[in-house]
Amino acid sequence: MHEEAMLKDVVRKAEEVARREEAVRVTRVRLWVGARCHLAGPELKAHWDYAVQGTILSGAEVEIETSNDPNHPNAETVLLRSLDVDSKKGRS
């Protein structure tokens, strides 16, 4: 259950960034995963795909960087690193 809540929070933050950037679509999402996080690799990807269904994040490429530092302050979590978007900004 903790993992589901953690991903919902990351999805919410990513959607906020996409809105702020006036995104038409998100093309790439970069995630950082702590060394002690229970979600990793294919399991994280599957949970991510489910969590973003029906959102502007659906269909975006996902890059996952995994930490190997069990002492990192965020070692038990998933963080949003960045998004690439197609944006309305600058279009006529």
Phi-psi category of 86—alpha, beta or left, where left has phi over 0 and alpha has psi -120 to 50?
beta
Higher-confidence position of 33 and 89 = 33
Report which residue type is found at 51.
A
**3.50.50.60, 3.30.2320.50, 3.40.640.10, 3.40.50.300: CATH of 2-87:** 3.30.2320.50
Q: Tens digit of pLDDT for each residue in 57-90?
A: 999 999 999 999 999 999 999 999 999 999 876 5
DSSP classification of residue 56 = T
Give the pLDDT of residue 2: 74
Confidence of residue 91 (pLDDT cuts 50, 70, 90): low
Q: Is the pTM of this model over 0.85?
A: yes
Per-residue model confidence (pLDDT) at position 92 = 43
In the prediction, which pLDDT does 1 show?
Answer: 52
- The tokens for 61 are 């490429």
The domain segmentation of the chain, as residue ranges, is 2-87
**Residue 33 pLDDT exceeds 50:** yes
